[in-house]
Amino acid sequence: MKNSATAITQDETKQWEESLKRCLEQERVACRRIPAGLFAEHKGKFIAVSAGEIIDEDSDELKLAKRVSCLPDDPFILILQITDEKLREIFAEP
């Protein structure tokens, strides 16, 4: 017999994972609206993207993550290191 607290935790975890997947896909789609040339300006660096906009960048991923984690309203933020491979992934056809 399953413990109800465990079942709730597993259900919440599953919901969170599904929500995260949806957010990641939304940001991936939104990233395609950002001009490729703008990404190229940040090549080799880490960028923070939210709602399809580059909101910050840094050569140090940890420093960037710390800065954007303090933003109000807890937006979903995707952090990417801009490389040729990452650009191909972003702009690949679905």
Please tell me the predicted confidence (pLDDT) of residue 1.
46
79, exposed or middle or buried, with CB in 10 Å at 0-12, 13-18, 19+? Answer: middle
Average of per-residue pLDDT across 36-57 = 88
According to the per-residue pLDDT averaged within each range, which of 21-30, 59-68, 77-86 is highest? 59-68
Average pLDDT of span 11-34: 85
- Is a pLDDT exceeding 60 seen at residue 4? no
Find out whether 64 and 79 touch, Cβ atoms under 8 Å. yes
Q: What is the DSSP letter of 77?
A: -
Predicted TM-score of the model (pTM): 0.72
Residues near 51 by beta carbon (within 8 Å), at least 6 away in sequence: 30, 75
Residues 6+ apart with CB under 8 A from 73: none
